[in-house]
Structure 1
Amino acid sequence: MDVINKTTAQTIRTLTEVERNAITQYVLGETLSTTGIKIQELLTRWHENKRWIKCDCHPRTGAGSLQSIEHLKKNDAGTLYFVRNSSSAMHSELCAFHSESRSAPRVTAARKTLKSCVLNFHGEISSKGAAASSPNPTRSNNSADGTSQRRSSLGSLMLNLMNEAALNRLSNHNDKVYVASLNEPAKRFEVAKGISLESVFVPSLTTSGWLDQRLSELAGGWPKKSRPYGMMAGVVNTVERQSYLGSRTHLGHPLTTGPYLVLGTYTNKTSEPGSRNFYLMRIVTIPVVDVSWPMPVESNLEREVAKKLKQLMYSMQQDYNIELSLEKPLIDTAVGKDLVRCDFVLKDSTSKKTLAIEVMGYKDDEYLDRKDRQIPIMRTLYTSLIEVEMSGTEEQKKKSLKTMSIEVRKFFS
């Protein structure tokens, strides 16, 4: 999100991760878990100086790309709230701002809207969110330090599970990753005091009988202030709308086709807290390369590049006897005051060489300016870095992939 000038629409600055989280929590009416942010002072300063917020919930696809703009208004009680500029695009369905009636004074509608939609997984990425930072991280959100707040979201939980299960890594050209490997890191999470996530987790979206029985057994000893719940994970192929408890829930990400990895909570209705009828209630999805290779990707372009990199891993082993590993980083790396995260990393454990792959998917000035700032920082973290231009025609993409192949071979061989 950017702070922009109302009159000129010029970007003044980009919000920090802390500010962004604080604004999202304010919009949703949640208790602010971020320390050091005086939200009312910040909003008042923006309101008085005619500053607007430009949301980044839509992908940047060019100079005419969709942009959602929010400005601040003050109600009769003096409370500041955000209002979307009518001349700007509607927010993405995945965005916390998405709702005709949402605002801090009218929180209920906003929360209902957000919960009925797939959460934006990448909006949850935090350089401090790794589950490994705690021997037994919990889903409880009662802590004041904000750490458990991150872990309490499905998006953050999926991030940590995938990272610890190594779904985002191939150690060699023959390596395979499976959704079932999420079971192991699930042992290190608790869904309630004394109840591990692994004990109520099923790596399938179609096998719920065992989970029904398990939740029924645990219901009597479950903490009184929460309902018994478990979790299900699996891969779906298509973007479709499905109904969960009568509410329309969107599976998938705009502009990115399937397959998708889905993580969902499995529990009973709030209106029937003592019921033994359980349902898949709230879900989050992330695109993956393939059903048989559930490595996360952020776009169709990244999926194409990932497949090509896997082919290169095989040919490098066959032609040069060089075994490469591949990683899709999920956690930002802090470099000074900056946070960066490249798209892919190839590594040779023998030579210790590392090659970052950055997929260039758009042409608009804002996107290119951001890359101009980030790429020099990324270059300091790896032996070398390749930019793969994938914003052109299909023929141009093929040429870019071929050029990438040549550069990878030359670098490692």
Structure 2
Amino acid sequence: MVLSFISSDRCSHREMSKGVSNLLKAYYGGTKPVSENQTMLAQRVFGWMKTKEHYVVCDCERDEELKSKPATHEEARLSPLRGAALPGILRALPKPPNVGHHEDCDFAKGHSGASNVVPRLQKPDQKNLAVFGAYPLGQMSQQGTLRRPRSPAHKLPSISQVLFSVIEAAGLNRIDLSGSTVTPALDAYLKSEKLSLVPGFSLKKALVTGDRDDEIGGIRRIITLKKTIADVGRWPEDLRPQGFWCGVVSGFRANAKEDRYDVTVSNWTRLQHLESRPHVFGGYTADGARQPYIAIFGYALPAKDSGRVLGIRSFMQPCFDHDCWFPVDSDYERQTLRILIDVQRSHPQYNIRISKPLFDTPIPGISKASCKADFVVNFARGESDVEVAIETMGYTDQDYEERKGRTHPLMLALYKGLIQHRFVPGRKSELRRTFRAELMAFIERGEQPAYPTLAGA
């Protein structure tokens, strides 16, 4: 069965093609991961529905009486939500007059297509980064392992703040021409001394990192960490024993037989195990376009007297490559970063530094306003140091453009300029050249392109 379009005046009703129907089910119904190109297509269909004032007629199984009625009879419908804080939401209409969806319908479960929404993330108190609180954390599964509810795609779990704090403390979200003499794993471990689980208890005491070229040593460190967590007498009374592992991973898969998730660490032969599904920034794509990931695993005792330390929470953020922990939000951003690095290396006279803000940046002089650019490029022009925001424009739907139209003027209040790298199917090479030319024109002469999203600046 396939979904159908129906106009608001009910004068037009037609079935979708199987491909479009499956795409909307995957993206808006959450039936399976989608690629970034598929996300763009789903958003285009969504934009068309809003413009043409069309609804979606669901194909979920209802009672026999309704299935025998004409297509114009009241049916289980979905409406493209207007003015939503999260763009791209198909919402079930209230009943009456809308017929309720089947209880097993994917659209009735409240999933929304929000993979193009960048979560807002305030900088945490880096003296209070403890993730695990009082026992118990959640509900036990049938086989006895812990399961926590999955966080929505637009909201990051608290463990992500630990990862981002470690990356920022080690400067792994910055690239300059000087490079580094140590591996990202060692740098992250050493710099975690600056951070605390609770005041007076350094995060470094509860953190191990994974080097892709040291599997044996990495596994030994995880084993030692688990033993340290299990020895509850070594921990402050007001701090639940907990620990973390950071490293680059290629992906994960559900292991139904063992009731767990198996994670592939980059260049390691032995799988690592988690008791709950990892939260992946932006969602886990079917085509693997977002991998590799810089990941953090959170270890703790599921119960005070359980005696066995488990990997209970985890978060995975796409990163530049297997040897670089620099975070990116998508493969589109990864492509943008490649161009930025090439410009950096081919124009050393400008002393270009590339960074990625990990937390919201307040806007001076504007109360309660903040923004978070995809990248910030700092360079020398004459005697001045100049910062320009870089935005990867991976989507083309109206809601996305409107949202960027609100945040981009704020970025101009914080930085000296803003350059966009757009992605439109079929125009990749052309737009890559345009992005590079506009970036160089800004670096050399300060020329700011007149983008539509800056109309309100």
What range is the shorter-chain TM-score in?
0.5 to 0.7
Give secondary structure in 2 for the equivalent of 1:380.
helix
- Where does structure 2 lack aligned partners over 5 or more consecutive residues? 1-7, 9-27, 47-87, 96-102, 134-154, 211-217, 262-272, 445-457
The structure-2 alpha-carbon separation of the partners of 1:195 and 1:376, relative to structure 1 and needing over 3 Å to count, comes to: closer
Q: Partner amino acid for 1:294? A: W
* Secondary structure at 2:189 match in 1: helix
2:121 to 110, 122, 125: 125
* The one of 190, 195, 210 aligned to 2:196: 190
Mean alpha-carbon deviation: is it higher for 221-230 or for 259-268? 221-230
Q: 1:122 to 1:182 in 2, by over 3 A?
A: farther
Q: Show the counterpart of 1:278.
A: 309
Residue 111 of structure 2 corresponds to residue 91 of structure 1: yes
User: 2:177–2:352: 8 Å Cα contact kept in structure 1?
Assistant: yes
**1:376: Cα distance to partner?**
2.0
Residue number in structure 1 paired with 2:433: 402
- Secondary structure (helix, strand or coil) at the match of 2:350 reads coil
Answering whether residue 384 of structure 2 is matched by residue 351 of structure 1, we say yes
The separation in 2 between residues aligned to 1:374 and 1:325, in whole angstroms, is 23
Amino acid at match of 2:184: Y
Give the Å deviation of 1:88: 6.3
Give the number of the structure whose alpha-carbon radius of gyration is greater.
Answer: 2
- Cα deviation, 1:24-63, whole Å, max 9, x if unaligned, reads xxxxxxxxxxxxxxxxxxxxxxxxxxxxxx99xx986323
Paired amino acid for 2:233: G
Q: Which residue of 2 aligns with 1:69?
A: 91
Helix, strand or coil at the partner of 2:91? strand
2:213 is the alignment partner of 1:214: no
**CA 1:224–1:291 in 2, change beyond 3 Å: closer, same or farther?**
same
Alignment of 1:153-164 (within 5 A): 153-164=158-169
Match for residue 234 of structure 1 among 247, 252, 267: 247
Q: Distance in 2 between matches of 1:211 and 1:86?
A: 40
How far residue 154 of structure 1 moved from its aligned partner, in angstroms, is 0.5
Whole-angstrom distance in 1 between the partners of 2:395 and 2:291: 21
Alpha-carbon separation, structure 1, partners of 2:114 and 2:305: 28
CA distance in 1, matches of 2:107, 2:318: 31
Distance 1:250 1:196 in 2: 25
Q: Check whether the contact 2:274–2:312 (CA below 8 A) recurs between aligned residues.
A: no
Aligned pair in 2 of structure 1 residues 64, 94: CA closer, same or farther (>3 Å)?
Answer: closer
Alignment size in residue pairs: 308
Q: Say if 1:192 and 1:222, in contact at 8 Å, map to a contact too.
A: no
Aligned partners of 1:246, 1:291: CA distance in 2, in Å? Answer: 21
Whole-angstrom distance in 2 between the partners of 1:269 and 1:94: 31
- Three-state SS of the structure 2 residue aligned to 1:354 is strand
Query: Where in structure 2 are the equivalents of 1:294-373 lying within 5 Å?
Result: 294-317=325-348, 321-335=349-363, 336=366, 337-349=368-380, 351-373=384-406
Letter in 1 for 2:243: G
Distance in 2 of aligned mates of 1:173 and 1:183: 21
Q: Identify the match of residue 177 of structure 2 among 165, 168, 172.
A: 172
Q: Give the C-alpha shift of residue 173 in structure 1.
A: 6.2
Distance 1:385 1:179 in 2: 32
2-side partners of 1:72 and 1:185: how far apart? 52
Partner of 1:307, secondary structure, is helix
| CA-to-aligned-CA distance 1:50-107 (integer Å, 9 cap, x gap) | xxxx99xx9863233552538999xxxxxxxxx9997567526999xxxxxxxxxxxx
TM-score normalised according to structure 2 size = 0.57
- SS for the counterpart of 2:197 is strand
Query: Per-residue CA shift, 1:116-168, capped at 9, x if unaligned?
Result: xxxx9964612xx2446xxx3352799xxxxxxx9992022222222222121
Unpaired segments of 5 or more residues in structure 1? 1-7, 9-53, 74-82, 96-119, 143-149
- Structure 1 residue 289, shift from structure 2 partner: 0.9
Q: Is 1:200 aligned with 2:206?
A: yes
3-state SS of 1:187 partner: helix
| Residue identity matched to 1:237 | S
Asked if 1:137 is matched to 2:100, the reply is no
Residue 397 of structure 1: how far off its partner (Å): 1.6
- 1:329 and 1:70, CA in 2 relative to 1: closer, same or farther beyond 3 A? farther
Shift in CA distance, 412/360, structure 1 to aligned 2, threshold 3 Å: same
Aligned twin of 1:21: none
